[in-house]
């Protein structure tokens, strides 16, 4: 049964309304990302054909600049080959015209063919030259494109690597960076589309010149015939993009549901709470809507194509009628008309290439602009690499420092004063979120104080060459990196040396120090084992084993300031005690150790303890002094030791977890 048209339309509208309702219920509407390659997708559809044309010179100039920076020779070859192709194409048409003139002359056929022969050879030569130039252009473009992409990518990476942490955490910069990453591919595509556009322009110029020379009326005629298909191409392309965009927004919602139904994170609730059938029900409604939307837009596109083809056909008919009139009225000869038909066909193909080329070029340029903007922003917020040089410090002073994270309204640090002295352990204690890690990051030079100053032997960090500061610091951060690389690379990344490669002796010593020896010995390929089980031959380490590797990395770095933030959180009791003992040994050679841990049994051996509370230093002193004060630290310590069934008196301060005695212990332990 054939349904009436209106009924079919209603069915599609109904399916879309139902799908939209599902989308609104689950996601509040269509999912339009504000990042990445989706941001500018289809942006050219908002631009008129003339608007795009106006932007053309700037877009081409941009590609030329990129190409020039990446590979000048390849760029020159492409330019030469493109112009050459235009010239050969024009000369080919002139030659064709000559052949036709000779062939349409009066006289016996063999004579006419003979006199057309030189022109035939000439046209063939132009054809071969054009083919050679096309090949040269293809080869040079193939060489240029990846270089442009690499050039753009390396430019971005080099800058982002050096940007201040605070900038990296800024929401606007993050968004810009997401889109800019697509700019590297866009830079390559800009070359492709620029070549396409230049090729079409040169070809159109060549055809136009030949036609104008043949007969003044032929040039406007060519415009008449090529404009309708040009308009049709713009409209069709716009429709296609709209279709893709509409489908993509629906598809994205479906993608989210597919993920939710198959992911491990959601598996429990999908099963126990009955979330599975509910989500699948909405998935099916959305799928039906997406299909209806696709169908509707496909029909609209077909209609546009039909109108464009009809217009093009009418224009062609008019043009051929005009040609016939020129011919019959003696205003043009048969050879000129034949050449004009050939030229117009070439011109039509070129125009279609020009239109799509410009559209793509414009879209890619938006991504490339973001890349340029991200590079400029990164330069603006780059970590300074000039200024006073910082060397192994005797004293680091944090003076009245305050700091607020980007996008946060409360201070993470508020008027903090801390002193670190050579050959001592300084511990930061305090509740979760009190500011310990933030303070350590500021000391490591990862953030700049909002107010106050941090001085390394009197040199204000703000005026210093920050790379020289980083050189003095080794980190065992709370969230240390588990590089998906070999065990060797994981340790060597503590102080990578591009020129000399890994120091094997130091590597072994670092493993021994960190207790990573048995971990490495158990690995199938020892230090060369890949620590990523997603790949063949790769293994996954336990949390404690990873922590040993991170500690080995810190040791391999051998820096005069060591910042250890919860360095034993994943270790068992024995390894924890051993690790703290080794960390304490570091001070013997003058190292400054900043220790952050909630395990107060280990903190008690520090030379000085700073207790943070809501971003402020609430109290500080030795373990003994703080226990005697009977405030925050004493409460925390007593709470922890109570868990082990021991009740140290506030003044005695002896922990229940046995520790190894070190020179630092001798200086600070109340039991010494």
Ligand X SMILES: Nc1ncnc2c1ncn2[C@@H]1O[C@H](COP(=O)(O)OP(=O)(O)OP(=O)(O)O)[C@@H](O)[C@H]1O
Measure CA of the first residue to CA of the last residue in the chain; give whole Å.
98
Q: Which burial class, exposed, middle or buried, applies to 320 when counting CB atoms under 10 A from its CB (0-12, 13-18, 19+)? A: middle
Print the binding letters for residues 474-503 with ligand X: x by CB under 6 A, - otherwise.
----x-------------------------
The Cα–Cα gap between 238 and 301 comes to 9
> Should residue 86 be labelled a site residue for ligand X when binding is judged by CB under 6 A?
no
Distances (CA, A) of 334 to 11, 97, 339, 624: 57, 10, 9, 110
- Minimum distance from CB of 403 to ligand X (Å)? 9
- Cα dihedral across residues 103, 107, 113, 116: positive or negative: negative
Using CB under 6 A as the binding rule, the residues of this chain from 565 to 584 that contact ligand X are none
Give the interface size with ligand X as a residue count (CB under 6 A).
13
Selected range binding ligand X among 10-18, 59-67, 295-303, 427-435, rule: CB under 6 A: 427-435
- Minimum distance from CB of 400 to ligand X (Å)? 18
- Minimum distance from CB of 440 to ligand X (Å)? 8
Selected range binding ligand X among 112-120, 331-339, 429-437, 548-556, rule: CB under 6 A: 429-437
> Should residue 49 be labelled a site residue for ligand X when binding is judged by CB under 6 A?
no
Q: Spell 128-156 as b/e; 16+ CB within 10 A means b.
A: ebbeebbebbeebbebbbebbbebbbebb
The Cα–Cα gap between 612 and 498 comes to 40
Between 98 and 441, name the residue whose CB sits nearer to ligand X: 441
Pairing mode, strands 451-456 and 425-430: unpaired
- Minimum distance from CB of 598 to ligand X (Å)? 7
> Should residue 437 be labelled a site residue for ligand X when binding is judged by CB under 6 A?
yes
> Should residue 430 be labelled a site residue for ligand X when binding is judged by CB under 6 A?
yes
Print the binding letters for residues 378-417 with ligand X: x by CB under 6 A, - otherwise.
---------------------------x--x---x-----
> Should residue 433 be labelled a site residue for ligand X when binding is judged by CB under 6 A?
yes
> Should residue 450 be labelled a site residue for ligand X when binding is judged by CB under 6 A?
no
Between 413 and 474, name the residue whose CB sits nearer to ligand X: 413
> Should residue 640 be labelled a site residue for ligand X when binding is judged by CB under 6 A?
no
- Minimum distance from CB of 193 to ligand X (Å)? 40
- Minimum distance from CB of 600 to ligand X (Å)? 13
Contact criterion met (CB below 8 Å) for 476 and 551? yes
Using CB under 6 A as the binding rule, the residues of this chain from 153 to 212 that contact ligand X are 169
- Minimum distance from CB of 441 to ligand X (Å)? 8
The Cα–Cα gap between 95 and 124 comes to 9
Selected range binding ligand X among 219-227, 434-442, 539-547, 638-646, rule: CB under 6 A: 434-442
- Minimum distance from CB of 596 to ligand X (Å)? 7
Residues contacting 290, CB < 8 A, separation 6+ = 19, 247, 250, 251, 254
| One of 264, 432, 534, 643 touching ligand X (CB under 6 A) | 432
Distances (CA, A) of 179 to 138, 182, 183, 278, 668: 29, 6, 7, 34, 53
615 CA to centre of own chain = 34
H/E element holding 253? helix 218-262
Measured in degrees and rounded to the nearest 5, phi and psi for residue 565 equal: -105, 110
- Minimum distance from CB of 416 to ligand X (Å)? 11
Residues contacting 618, CB < 8 A, separation 6+ = 430, 611, 612, 631, 632
User: Token pair for residue 31?
Assistant: 């999912």
Binding-site ranges for ligand X (CB under 6 A): 169, 405, 408, 412, 430, 432-438, 478
């Amino acid at each position: 049964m054939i349904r009436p048209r209106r009924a079919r339309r209603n069915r599609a509208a109904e399916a879309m309304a139902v799908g939209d309702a599902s989308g609104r219920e689950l996601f509040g509407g269509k999912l339009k990302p504000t990042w990445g390659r989706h941001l500018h997708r289809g942006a050219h559809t908002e631009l008129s054909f003339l608007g795009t044309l106006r932007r053309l010179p700037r877009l081409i100039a941009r590609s030329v600049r990129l190409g020039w920076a990446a590979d000048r020779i390849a760029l020159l070859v492409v330019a030469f080959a493109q112009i050459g192709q235009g010239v050969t194409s024009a000369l080919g048409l002139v030659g064709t015209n000559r052949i036709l003139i000779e062939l349409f002359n009066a006289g016996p056929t063999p004579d006419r063919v003979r006199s057309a022969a030189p022109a035939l050879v000439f046209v063939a030569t132009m054809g071969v030259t054009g083919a050679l130039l096309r090949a040269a252009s293809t080869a040079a473009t193939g060489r240029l494109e990846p270089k442009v992409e690499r050039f753009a990518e390396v430019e971005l990476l080099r800058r982002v690597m050096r940007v201040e942490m605070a900038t990296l955490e800024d929401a606007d910069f993050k968004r810009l960076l997401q889109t800019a990453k697509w700019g590297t591919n866009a830079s390559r595509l800009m070359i492709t589309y620029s070549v396409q556009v230049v090729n079409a322009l040169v070809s159109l110029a060549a055809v136009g010149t030949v036609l104008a020379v043949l007969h003044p009326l032929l040039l406007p005629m060519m415009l008449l015939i090529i404009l309708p298909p040009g308009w049709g191409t713009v409209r069709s392309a716009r429709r296609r993009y709209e279709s893709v965009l509409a489908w993509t927004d629906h598809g994205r919602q479906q993608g989210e549901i597919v993920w939710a139904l198959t992911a491990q994170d959601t598996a429990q609730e999908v099963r126990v709470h009955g979330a599975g059938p509910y989500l699948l029900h909405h998935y099916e409604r959305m799928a039906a809507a997406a299909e209806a939307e696709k169908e509707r837009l496909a029909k609209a596109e077909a209609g546009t194509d039909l109108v464009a083809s009809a217009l093009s056909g009418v224009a062609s008919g008019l043009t051929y009628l005009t040609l016939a009139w020129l011919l019959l009225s003696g205003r043009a000869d048969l050879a000129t008309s034949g050449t004009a038909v050939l030229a117009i066909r070439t011109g039509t193909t070129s125009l279609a290439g020009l239109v799509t080329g410009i559209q793509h070029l414009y879209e890619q340029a938006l991504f490339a602009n973001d890349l340029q903007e991200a590079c400029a922003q990164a330069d603006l917020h780059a970590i300074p690499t000039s200024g006073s040089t910082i060397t192994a410090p005797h004293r680091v002073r944090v003076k009245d420092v305050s700091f607020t994270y980007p996008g946060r309204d409360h201070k993470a640090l508020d008027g903090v004063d801390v002193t670190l002295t050579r050959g001592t352990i300084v511990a930061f204690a305090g509740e979760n979120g009190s500011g310990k890690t933030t303070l350590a990051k500021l000391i490591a030079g990862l953030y700049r104080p909002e107010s106050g100053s941090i001085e390394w032997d009197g040199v204000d960090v703000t005026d210093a060459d920050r790379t020289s500061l980083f050189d003095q610091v080794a980190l065992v951060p709370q969230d240390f990196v588990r590089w998906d690389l070999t065990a060797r690379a994981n340790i060597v990344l503590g102080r990578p040396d591009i020129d000399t490669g890994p120091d094997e002796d130091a590597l072994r010593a670092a493993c021994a120090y960190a207790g990573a020896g048995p971990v490495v010995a158990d690995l199938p390929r020892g230090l060369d084992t890949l620590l990523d089980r997603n790949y063949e031959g790769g293994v996954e380490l336990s949390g404690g084993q990873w922590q040993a590797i991170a500690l080995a990395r810190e040791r391999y770095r051998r820096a005069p300031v060591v910042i250890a933030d919860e360095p034993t959180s994943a270790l068992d009791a024995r390894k924890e005690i051993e690790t703290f003992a080794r960390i304490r040994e570091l001070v013997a050679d003058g190292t400054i150790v900043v220790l952050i841990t909630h395990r107060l049994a280990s903190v008690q051996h520090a030379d000085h303890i700073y207790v943070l509370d809501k971003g402020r230093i609430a109290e500080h002193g030795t373990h003994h002094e703080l226990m005697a004060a009977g405030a925050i630290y004493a409460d925390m310590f007593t709470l922890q030791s109570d868990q082990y069934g021991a009740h140290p008196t506030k003044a005695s301060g002896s922990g229940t977890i046995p520790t190894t005695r070190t020179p630092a212990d001798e200086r600070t332990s109340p039991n010494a």
